[in-house]
Structure formats: C-alpha cells, structure tokens
Structure 1
Amino acid sequence: MATLDIKQLYKRYGKNGPNTLEDINISIESGEFLILVGPSGCGKSTLMNMIAGLEEITAGDICIDGKVVNDVDPKDRDIAMVFQSYALYPNMTVRGNIEFALKIQKMDKPERDKEITRVAQLLQIEHLLDRKPSQLSGGQQQRVSMGRALARQPKIYLFDEPLSNLDAKLRVEMRHEIKKLHQRLGTTIVYVTHDQIEAMTLADRIAVMKDGQLLQLGSPAEIYNDPADMFVAGFMGSPAMNFLHCSVEQSEHGLVGSLVCDQQQSHTIPLPEHLAKYAGKSVVVGIRPEQITHVNPYKQDKPLVTTLNLKLGVLEPTGPDTIALVTLNDKEISCRLDPDKPAVMGESLDLMFDMSSAVFFDPNSEQRIR
C-alpha cells in the first residue's frame, strides 16, 4: 500500500497547444479506492497514464509515498495496471501469463508457484491455469489480467475501464469481485470509468472531471447529494437529475418558485430561505427523480414538501420502481414511482415534490447556490 499525491499537474501536447489537464490536485490515502469519472475526452486516461509513467508531465509533481516520481521509469514505480483490453499473451497459458512478470522480477520458481496459487485462489481461477486465453470467456480473461497485476504485489493498482468490454451481467459480477478484492487486500487503487454505477458502488472517493479539470472530489454520497455545479449534478445519477428554471418570488408563505405544467397551468413550489437574494430573479432547481413520488402522507405536511397534479407521459417499469415522465416548463422530467401504486400513462396523478432535498444553481455560472 502507498500514498499517492498529485500536485498542480498540467498536461499539454505541443508547445502552444491547449491544456489537456489543468491544475489537478488529488491526495490519495494508503489503501484508498479513488475513481476518476467524466465524459470521453475529459482527461481521465491521460491522468492515469501520467501516474503510470506512460505520459510525460508538462508541469507539476506526482509523488508516491512522499517521493517525486516524475522522472522515474514506469517499471521502477512499483505500479500495476489493468487495461480495458485484457492484453494477455495468446501463446501462453493462464499460468504463464501470471508468471511472466514474476520471471522478470527474477523470483525463484518455488516462490513463483506459491504466488500463482495465491492469486488463482483469490480470483477463483485455479481450474483455468492450464488453459490459453482463447479458451476463456471475457470475464475469465479479465480475471487473469487482474491476476497478472495482483501477482506483482505493487504499491498501487491502476484500473483503466477494466469492465467496459463485458456484458451487463458479467460487469456486475466483476464489480463485486473487485470490491471484495479491495476489502481483502486493502490496496491503493485508482480506477477510471465512465460508468457512474461502478463509481458509486466501488469508490471511497470520486473525482469528477470535465475538459481536463477536476470539478469535484468527494465521497459517493457527497458527489450525489451535494454536487458543486450543474455538470456534476447531472452526470451522477440514473435517471439524471432534473433541472427546472423558475423565477423566485416572495409570497405571504415565504419564497416560492413558479412553474408551468403541460396544460399551461401555473404552479408554485416552496423554496428555501437561502434563495432570498434571488427574489425577482431566476434560479435552476435541481431535483432528483426519487424526490418526485407518489404522495406520502407521512411527509406531506413537512416544510418544503408540496403536491402537484400532473399528467403522466411515458412509464418505464424497472422492477423495483417505475420511472414516469411528466412535463413542467415545456420540459420532460423524470419521477420515481412505487410500482405497486396505480399509475396510468395519459392520466393525471398527484405527485409529491420534496424540495427539502433539492439543490439550486445560478443559471449563468451553473455553480451551486448555497
């Protein structure tokens, strides 16, 4: 296990080119599981390659256990990387693939055999040791790829979208395996993914990136419930957070926001007092689908909870709940309904909006209003 510190890191291709990465600062504790998320082209894999030593640093420092490793060769950084492609040697057996790195380390054969047995048991691939990669499923090949990295017992593991080539069922199974692996070994892991479910379920902390910049770093709960801006709020969550523009007005009952439903009827929703400085102006309301539900009598009378009667559009049963689309401000928004309660497409339904859990953004800067 090791600490990893990324300090004021910049990456630029060409002398006058734009920054691919800009002022990245992340401190990773020993044994921590950090996940880098963001859309394609945001710089996740570039940052990962710089940690591994596969990309040169334009400016800044990368430190492992307090030691700057900017000029240290990849082979001397004591880092193991698991790629999106399994990158197994096709002419070698599973045993040979796992053993290869140990031979390079000049480990004695009895020690190599002992390490191969340990890793095979850990990943439950003992019965595959004499097979070649062409005889394995995608999930089995990914286990072997992980086994090859684990056998080295490095200070830090880097995973670059390791599950993206697997089907949905295998992805869930391998996600569980990686989670259990981290719990058993307590290793320091940096993991790149564009899959927010992977990020939410695996990470100790999540770093959300966009256009080469780090927008927010925090626990999964912080990223989900307390987003710093509209991009982070909209990126994390499935279905995504709903965004509604509304004008802030002062009423006899406090602050309210005005909305228009699909029948062009005007509705108001209660707003928290910290929006008082926006009275007479517009804000963006961010409300997640699970905060728009069937009416719950236990919450109905609480402050910042209101009920709107809205016409249901498309219904998407998922099993544990039903995702419904309704229209507000000429925009379709998602609601999460109880599948055991009545909901019919095209009919109107009383929906409860829990504004106490909503977040608010400045429409110009898209930054969080606190």
Structure 2
Amino acid sequence: MAALELNQIRKTYRGAENETLKGINIQIESGEFLILVGPSGCGKSTLMNTIAGLESISSGEIVIDGVDVSNVEPKDRDIAMVFQSYALYPNMTVRGNIAFGLKIRKLPQVKIDAEVNRVAEMLQIDHLLDRKPAQLSGGQRQRVAMGRALARQPKLYLFDEPLSNLDAKLRVEMRTQIKRLHQKLNTTIVYVTHDQIEAMTLADRIAVMKDGELQQLGTPKEIYNQPNNMFVAGFMGSPSMNFIKARVDLGTDDKPQGEIWTADGQSHKINLPDRLRKFDGETVIIGLRPEFITEQPSDENRTFTEVPMQIDVLEPTGPDTIAIVEINQEHVACRLSAEFDAKAGETVPLYFDLSSAIFFDVNTEMRI
C-alpha cells in the first residue's frame, strides 16, 4: 500500500494548442480506492498513464510514499496496471501469465508457485491455470489480468477501464469481485472509467474531470448530493439530473416562488427555499433528480409542490418506472413506482420535492 500525491500535473503534447492536463491536484491516501471519471477526451487515461510512467508530464510532481517518481522509469515505480484489453501473453498458460512478473524479479520457483496458487484461488481461477487465454471467456481473461497484477504485490494498482469490454451481467459480477478484493486486501487503487455506476459503487472517492481539469473530488455521496456545478450534477446519476429554469418571484406573501410551464401551455407556481430571496426577479436553474419528482409524497416531513403533468413517455425498469414529461419545452425525467399505471398522454398530478433541489447560477453554472 502507498499514498499517492499528484501536484500540479500538466501535460501538453508537442504541436498541440491546448493542455491535455491542466494542473491536476489530488492526494490519495494509502489503501484508498480513487476513481477518475469523465467523458471521452477529458484526460483521465492520460493522467493514469502519467502515474504509471507510460507518458511523461510537462510539469508538476508525482509522489509515491513521499518519493518524487516523476522522472522514474515505469519498471521502477512499483506499480501494477490492469488494462482494458487484458494484455495477456497468448502463448502462455494462465499460470505463466500470472507468474511472468515474478519470474522477471527472479523470485525462487517455490515462492512463485505459492503466489500463483494464492492469487488463483482468491480470484476463483485455480481450475484454469493450465489453459491459454484463447480458451477463456472475457470475464476469465480479466481475472487473469487482475491476478497478474495482484501477484506482484506492488505499492499501487492502476485499472484503466478494465470492465468496458465485458457484457452488462459480467460487468456487475466483476464490479463485485473488485470491491471484495479491495475490502480484503486494502490496496491503494486508481481506477479509470466512463461508467458513473461503476464509480458510485466502487469508489471511496471520485475525481470528476472535464477538458483536462478536475471539476470535483469527493465521496460518491458528496458528488451525487452536493455537485459543484452543472457538469458534475449532470454527469453523475442515471437518469441524469433535470435542469429546470425558473424566474424567482417573491410574490404577494414575500415567499420565493418560481414559474414553470407544462406541455399544455399552463404556467404553475412552485415553492422555492427562502435562501433564494436575494435572487428576486432573476432566473435560476433548479437541479432536481428524477427521484424527487414522484406520483405521491414520499415523506410527510418534506414540503411538496403538486403540479398536473402530461406523461409523454413511460419506461418501466422493473423496480421503478421512469416517466418523461415536458417542462419549459424541455424533457424532464421522473422516477415513479413500478405500480404506476397511467398511460402515455394522460395528465396526472406529480409531486416536486423542492427541498431536495440544488440551485445553479444561470451564467456560471456553479451551485448557488
């Protein structure tokens, strides 16, 4: 296990106009599971490669256990990496693939055999040790790749989108396997993914990136419930957060309200929290997750605003139903119960939990 510090990491490719990494600062504690997320091209894989030493940094420091390794060769950083493509040797058996790194280090054969058996049993691939990669399924190959990394017992593990080549069912199974391994071994892991469900279920902390910049670093709960800006709010969650524009009006009773328009052309007043009083006459963006628009109030202690809504599309998911409605000529997702029996085109009362809303500045897109 090892602590990792990324201090002002910058990366610019020769001939490129813009920086790929723009001053990334992240401190990772020993034994922590950190996940880097963001859309394609945001720089997360580049950051991972700089940690591994596969790419040089333009400036900054990469510190592992107090030692600056920014200019240290990859083989000397004591890091193991698990790739999206598995990167197994096709001519070697599973046993040979797992043992390869140990043989390079010239460990005694007895220790190599013991370590291979230990890792294979842990990953439940001990019955596959004499097979070659071509004889394995995708999930089995990924476990072999993980086993090769685990056998080395390095200071730091790097996972670069390791589950993206697997089907949906296998991804869920492998997520559980990786989570169980981390809980058992308490290893330090940096994990890259574009799948926000993976991020939410696996991470101790999540680093959300966009255009080479760190947008927010926090626990899954912090990222989900207290996003710094609209990008983070919209990236995390499925379906993603709804963004609804509303003009703040104190009204006759001096209580802040917002006006929204539904698909039938009717305007409706919704109650807003008192902290928005200072935005009287201004437009704000209401960030409301689908679970806070329901067909019935879920908590007597919260204040709900009832609005008649016309159902545009219904998407049953099994445990619940996603309803798509229209507000201000924009599609809005609502998470309703599985027993919800209305049909598309019907108008039904839906309840907005504005006490759970997050509000954003319309100009900066930052959380108010």
Contact 2:302/2:355 (CA < 8 Å) preserved in 1? no
Q: TM-score, normalised by structure 2?
A: 0.98
1:80 equivalent in alignment to 2:76: no
Q: Which one-letter code corresponds to 2:297 in the other structure?
A: N
The aligned runs of 1:1-370 (5 Å cut-off) are 1-14=1-14, 17-251=17-251, 252=253, 254-296=255-297, 298-299=299-300, 302-303=302-303, 305-369=304-368
Q: Aligned partners of 1:262 and 1:223: how far apart in 2?
A: 32
Aligned partner of residue 360 in structure 1, secondary structure: strand
| Cα separation, partners in 2 of 1:202 and 1:80, compared to 1, 3 Å | same
Q: Which amino acid aligns with 1:318?
A: T
Shift of 1:68: 0.5
Native 8 Å contact 2:320 2:335 kept in 1: yes
- Give the 3-state SS of the residue equivalent to 1:296 in structure 2: coil
**Secondary structure, aligned partner of 2:20:** strand
Structure 1 unaligned spans of 5+: none
Equivalent pair of 2:255/2:277 in contact (CA under 8 Å):
no
For 1:132-162, what per-residue CA distance to the aligned partner results, in whole angstroms no more than 9, with x for missing partners? 0000000000000000000000000000000
Distance 1:91 1:226 in 2: 50
Shift of 1:65: 0.4
2:88 and 2:305 map into 1 onto residues whose CA distance is 57
Q: CA deviation at 1:125?
A: 0.2
Q: CA deviation at 1:16?
A: 6.5
Q: Give the superposition deviation at 1:298.
A: 4.4
Q: Percent identity?
A: 64
TM-score normalised to structure 1 length? 0.98
Q: Helix, strand or coil for the counterpart of 1:45?
A: helix
AA in 2 matched with 1:8: Q
Equivalent residue of 1:13, what SS? coil
Secondary structure of the 1:162 match is: coil
Q: Once the two structures are superposed, what CA deviation does each residue of 1:273-318 show, in whole Å capped at 9, x if it has no partner?
A: 222221101011100000000112743x743x21101111110000
**Stretches of structure 2 lacking an aligned partner (at least 5 in a row):** none
Aligned partner of 2:165: which letter? N
Structure 1 residue ranges (4+ consecutive) displaced by more than 3 angstroms after TM superposition: none
What is the DSSP-based 3-state SS (H/G/I as helix, E as strand, rest coil) of the residue aligned with 2:305? strand
- Residues 295 and 307 of structure 1 are in contact (CA less than 8 Å); yes or no, is this contact kept in structure 2? no
Amino acid corresponding to residue 153 of structure 1 in structure 2: Q
Deviation at 1:15, TM superposition (A): 6.2
What letter matches 1:310 in structure 2? M
Q: Deviations over 1:181-239 (max 9, x none)?
A: 00000000000000000000000000000000000000000000000000000000000
